[in-house]
Structure 1
Amino acid sequence: MKGVLLVNLGSPDSPTTKDVKPYLDEFLMDKYVIDVPYLLRALLVRGIILRKRPEESAHAYAKIWWEEGSPLVVLSERMQKKVQPLVNVPVSLAMRYGSMTIEKGLQELSDKGVTDVMLFPLYPQYAMASTLTILVKAEEIRKKKFPHMKFTDVPAFYNKPDYIKNLADSIQKHLVGFDYDHLLFSYHGIPERHIRKTDVTKSHCKIDGSCCNTPSPAHEFCYRHQCYETTRQVVKLLGLPEDKYSLTFQSRLAGDKWLEPYTDVEIDNMPAKGIKKLAVVTPAFVSDCLETLEEIAMRAKEDFEANGGEEFLAIPCLNDDDEWCQTVSNWINDWAK
């Protein structure tokens, strides 16, 4: 019997330091997130980062927390509930980090008699710290707990025409009535070394002005290329002129060289360049979360206005948009035939 496991990032159980600390520990101790030797990772995370970050993050989570719970979890659950009636196989939801574990999601499917699982990471673009860690963790659990199961992994869907149309339609819908000067595509940042580590050719990715535009097998796993390609296709569909949009990367950690340009730096400088009305979309996420609701819709908005900006629009993620849920169900139904 076939079934689907949707997997998103995860969330602490509450916006308190007590719950945020173990969540951050699990997240940051993941070798695919902070990809340094274990002892150095433990020193960085448990010796330095977790001394202050849990309290700061708890404060940020408290600003966006909903009565029903974590926005990321609530929105993912809403999406799952919309998709389920549109397909003929069981659909479960899990998170890579936190209490809604992949093991629980697989157990839920197993209890329903599922042995053939469509493993569906909810990330449009492929990255070590998102897609890969889900696939590796799920396979570890499968071998230990569910050896009777087999997986079909859903590849990155950054360039699938129906996803691109959903994203473009959503952007267009939210821009109605907003006379914007500029549309910013802000993607989650990753360290530059992650790009090189996922380069299957071991030579293509130079992170310069040309490699992402030069055809290569490396692009199947290149996060940077996939971000630029998502943007290129959406912009083409929307018919945007070159001077009307740009692409940046957000949420970097100190100490490493991360993908540039940086969202916060670019947004701070925009008002001085004559951009007074800014719209921001965050296509690395399909569900609104801390990085979109607090970092962009709150902090970036405040910084933009503090630097002379006049109007700021944070465009929501696809979340449980009807068109998007229909697209996901179509992909599932095509696989389940």
Structure 2
Amino acid sequence: MRKKHERRRCYREFIAAVRAELNAGDAAHIRVDHSWLRRHVSGEAFLVEVPVGPELVVPLRPSDVDAVLQSEQSCIAEARSFARALITLDRGKVELLTHAENIRTAAKDAVVIAVKDGLDVRLAGIRFKPTRASNLEDPQEGCDHVLVEVDVEMTSPDLRRQTISILAEEDEDMGYLLEEDLAIQKIRQARLEELAALDADLEIDDISLELLRWPKLEPNEVLDELLREGNVTIKLSGGQVLTIMNECGVAEVSMTSAEANWSGQYLWLTNGSGSQDHSERVGKTLEGLLVNPIFAERKVEYASDFDGSGRQLFSFNNPRRWLYDAQSGCIRADPRMHS
């Protein structure tokens, strides 16, 4: 594997090879610069960000990254492809910018309508999606392969702010493309309003709260981290792991351990008892089958059919009876459940 300094030299040599191809093809007026090369961006080994206007670039990717780094002959073939793509972009940049501006206008109009309807969404911007340079070799139709991505800021599944990207081919599609996301935004926004009316940031069920308290954790500290990060993983002694997720304002704790796993909804035994049918435990506890008192002392409400796989699922009555208010750091009973 090539060392870092050798790879850097390869990239410089690649840009120089693209420059040489442009000069040889009577396109010396078209600029290419090493500063346009970006490495390890958006999961790409490298991109060449070609400016096509005062704000936008078209990110070009190679068909074969290894070709640029390993073989001089294949590097020249990639350089030739990039040079042709640059020529196509130079000829078609006015058309590309017009297309992008039409999509921006359509996206802005759709967002304006959504805001008037009471939705908390914002147009974060537009950009061109990375594309292979080889797709742009045809000077007549190459620019048709350059697609626009629209970034819209809205509420995430864990009720924080997020930016989503929508791929838009035509400006008249924007309303349709945003329709589903705006419907989801309406639901999540209503959920935020519901929690705000309760002076709460999270709901949490009985079992989740007990799982946080049982190993002597500070539940409010864990829930504060959950609100910051969206998910939390805690490794405990004996190989037990707690995973806490924020599902639309509901703090849900799952567990893996040597004797049982809990998904947040279902429990299944991972010790020797899991090889037997325990359907008779419905309406009774799982005492004697596992040690963890949170599950061993709770009455089983449902047991799935036993198929011999060792994954018989059990569920329990587990209401979300608690609210967490981050401002006060207080976990309190949900008045709707305790009235």
TM-score normalised per structure 2? 0.22
- Which structure: greater helix fraction? 1
Larger gyration radius, structure 1 or structure 2: 2
Greater RCO (Cα-Cα under 8 Å, separation 6 or more): 1
- Which structure: greater strand fraction? 2
